[in-house]
A = this chain, B = another copy of it.
Amino acid sequence: MKPDSNPDVMTIRQMCDAFDVTPRTLRFYEAKELLSPIREGTRRLFTRRDRARLALILRGKRFGFSLEDIRQTLDLYDRDGGQTAQRQKAYELAMKRLTEMEAQRAELDLAIAELKTELAEAEARGLVSRHAA
């Protein structure tokens, strides 16, 4: 019987298709303790928790955070386990990340505005056409 009868867990290939990553990447993330799929014999089965974490990981990457940065922040989203002291640390770390992200947002807004200005000027100088080949 196939193991994917359970809709709550996914095989490595299903994960790859769903998130557009390679098996190597998922195993790598597991080795780095970003994911912790359960084992059915030797095979990995990824739970909802793994999927949620992977989504957060990929997002974090798009924002330029390192896997190590991400790993540490990730624990906040784990409402269940963890000692109080650990949770407190995760919380504070997440606060720090929040501050960073808000700063990044501010700078991003600025950069976008500047780039728009630059594009408008280039246009005004008549050296480019809005839509070409």
Whether, in the assembled complex, A68 has its beta carbon less than 8 Å from a beta carbon of chain B, the answer is no
Q: Across the interface, do B104 and A62 meet the contact criterion of CB distance under 8 Å?
A: yes
Q: Across the interface, do B84 and A127 meet the contact criterion of CB distance under 8 Å?
A: yes
Question: Looking at A104, A105, A128, which has the most chain B CB atoms within 10 Å of its CB?
Answer: A128
Label chain A's interface by main secondary structure.
Answer: helix
Residue ID in chain B nearest A101 by CB atoms: B112
Q: Across the interface, do B94 and A101 meet the contact criterion of CB distance under 8 Å?
A: no
Chain B residues lying within 8 Å of A19, measured Cβ to Cβ, are none
Chain B residues lying within 8 Å of A105, measured Cβ to Cβ, are 105, 108-109, 112
Known: A64-B64, A119-B76. A59 touches B111 (CB 8 A): yes
Whether, in the assembled complex, A28 has its beta carbon less than 8 Å from a beta carbon of chain B, the answer is no
- Partner-binding segment picked from A1-9, A10-18, A35-43, A85-93: A85-93
Beta-carbon contacts under 8 Å, A44-96 to B: 59, 61-64, 76-77, 79, 84, 87-88, 91-92, 94-95
Query: How big is chain A's contact interface, by range?
Result: 35 or more
Known: A62-B107, A63-B64. A127 touches B87 (CB 8 A): yes
Give 10 closest A-B pairs by Cβ, nearest first. A64-B64, A91-B128, A105-B108, A88-B128, A101-B112, A87-B127, A98-B115, A91-B122, A88-B132, A76-B118
